[in-house]
Amino acid sequence: MHTRPNWAEISLSTLAENYRVIARHLGPGVTPCCVIKCDAYGHGVIETARALEEAGALWLGVTSAEEGVAVREAGVKLPILVMTGFWRGEEEALLRHDLIPAVATAEHVEALEREVATLGLQRKVPVHLKIDTGMARLGVSLEELPALAARIASSRAVELQGVFSHFSESEILDSPAAAKQREDFNHALQVLAAAGLRPRYRHLANTAATIARPDTWNNMVRPGIALYGYNLKCEGPGADQAVLPVRPVLTWKTRVIALRDIAPGTPVGYSQRWHAARPTRLAVIPVGYGDGFSRHLSKGGRVILRDSYAPITGNVSMDLTMIDVTDIPNVMIGDEVLLIGSSPHCAVGADEHARLAGTIVYEILCGLSPRVPRVYVE
């Protein structure tokens, strides 16, 4: 039961339109693999997956077998790529739910071969090979690639359906590191071809590269944050053109639960670092850092109330935040407040929260607490 007035509205029609914007930008011949990891960046993985399937999406990308199983059990039929591979013991779940794992070692291949034999499958298991081109996280190195390519080529149970890597800074359009990663990825394709492997799908581009680097698209890309309505801020030549007309999918709302009139000099909130400079009317809203409303917003943060900005006063606490509504006429208990969203004349995006918190949009969206219910609207 959710009765606390603090909720996030997810517009599935906006999500669908964002997907179509990206697909039109790519044109024919390039398949978007829609990234819905981390509960679809805080938007709800099940509802997001269903909406994308209905919108015409062709592929989905998740981070774990657990996520993939949840999406499959929700009835989604699309191919699902498990981008960070699998852990020991997850092989059966992958195969029974028709999930496509990333592999990066001979041990991955052997584990899948054993499970194919155990289940008595009469088909090869499609996999995507992860190449490490400069992140030093997951993936086979270029030095180890020839041996692993030969191992995959000899397998009777595993089929190399795709190969991929991941940019470290594709938003820097003249980045030497990104250029080197692209070069190394192309070299990896040559190594695979020499082993007789020509995977159907080849993908390197993340959101920034999907928007601004068509030379890296190959025949599959992995848009993430753009699906949810945010462009990454690119740098370098052509950065001013690196924008897609996507719109935020998530609007975060709450309501005024109390009003206080305080005298000049009155301290507000923890540490009493903020003092009223004039007779001030405060509104209290039931949201705090326990909901994912960053404490960094205590300095410079604002919300929208009655199509006007209301600055945050005092420190954001775990469950409550105070805002200055002195200059907003007729504020009443129960008035709706926008934490992330827009009104006719005002807007506060997750990107503004990220700037004030010294972080990135991804962390703001993924950081919305489970105690903030997601409400799905068209």
Main-chain phi, psi angles of 158, to 5 degrees: -120, 135
Q: 145-153 and 176-194 are packed helices; what angle lies between their axes, rounded to 10 degrees?
A: 40
Backbone dihedral angles phi then psi of residue 24, each to the nearest 5 degrees: -65, -40
Q: What span, in angstroms and rounded, lies between the C-alpha atoms of 48 and 140?
A: 31
């938003």: which residue's tokens? 171
- Catalytic entry in 19, 37, 230, 309: 37
DSSP secondary structure string for all residues of 304-321: EETTEEEEEES---SS-E
377: three-class secondary structure by DSSP? strand
Closest Cα to residue 365, out of 45, 22, 16? 45
**How far, in Å, CA of 125 to CA of 252, rounded?**
41
Let me know if 270 is a catalytic residue.
Answer: yes
Task: List, in sequence order, every residue forming a beta bridge with 60; answer none if it has no partner.
Answer: 34, 80
User: Of 205, 238, 239, nearest to 219 (Cα)?
Assistant: 205
Distance between CA atoms of residues 281 and 29, nearest Å? 58
What residues form DSSP beta bridges with 261? 281
**Who's near 188: CB < 8 A, 6+ residues apart?**
131, 133, 142, 145, 163, 165
User: Which distant-in-sequence residues (6+ apart) come within 8 Å of 149 by Cβ?
Assistant: 191, 192, 194, 195, 197
- Give catalytic residue positions: 37, 270
